[in-house]
Chains A and B, each alone.
Chain A
């Protein structure tokens, strides 16, 4: 059974702090790793799609890295703002399938 683990489950940070979360996934038959940002009552919004070992992607203050050999990805937020408060989901796909296997998400609350 393929499993994706995200940690921590939730965290609170102060405005201006930098933070990071982890997504762990099976390293065999890897195809892609997706990060989504999901605000309450809204649609999950795609942040990054990562496919290559060593990939680093950046969007504004948010960046992500990928290690397919050991099966993990980190998401970093620099200088957190209250509007960054959301659940951050990762999803993993294997070669030869379209199915996304999701983690349970990391719920981030940024305190002003």
Chain B
């Protein structure tokens, strides 16, 4: 595998379910990001990790819980989501959180029923 991968690619969950999104980067980068894209809206930054430390939580509700166990893996744990959380969730990585270019995964399309 090369680049940034995300699993699953599609997810349907009920409001009482707990699920996790996984992101893996094979680029040796030190920074990882979660973005959300809702319909007709721009990509919104949710969380940023640098060297496994969270450096940004962009006012995201606590029903979204990120985890970065090492610099190659990033998870987004989901629980008691709302239908308005249905969106495309993209992961990205960069060499560091300075000025380095961000490389994106293909996203997970989430539907909350």
Knowing that A34-B101, A100-B102 touch, tell me 12 more A-B residue pairs with CB under 8 angstroms: A32-B99, A43-B104, A43-B105, A43-B107, A46-B103, A98-B94, A98-B98, A100-B45, A101-B42, A102-B43, A104-B40, A104-B42
Chain B residues touching A, majority SS: loop
With A4-B42, A100-B45, A103-B42 already in contact, the answer to whether A43 and B4 are too (CB < 8 A) is yes
Nearest B residue (CB) for A9: B40
Task: Give the size category of B's interface with A.
Answer: 20 to 34
Binding site for A on B (CB under 8 A): 3-4, 9, 31, 40-43, 45, 48, 56, 90, 94, 97-99, 101-107
With A102-B43, A104-B40, A104-B41 already in contact, the answer to whether A44 and B97 are too (CB < 8 A) is no
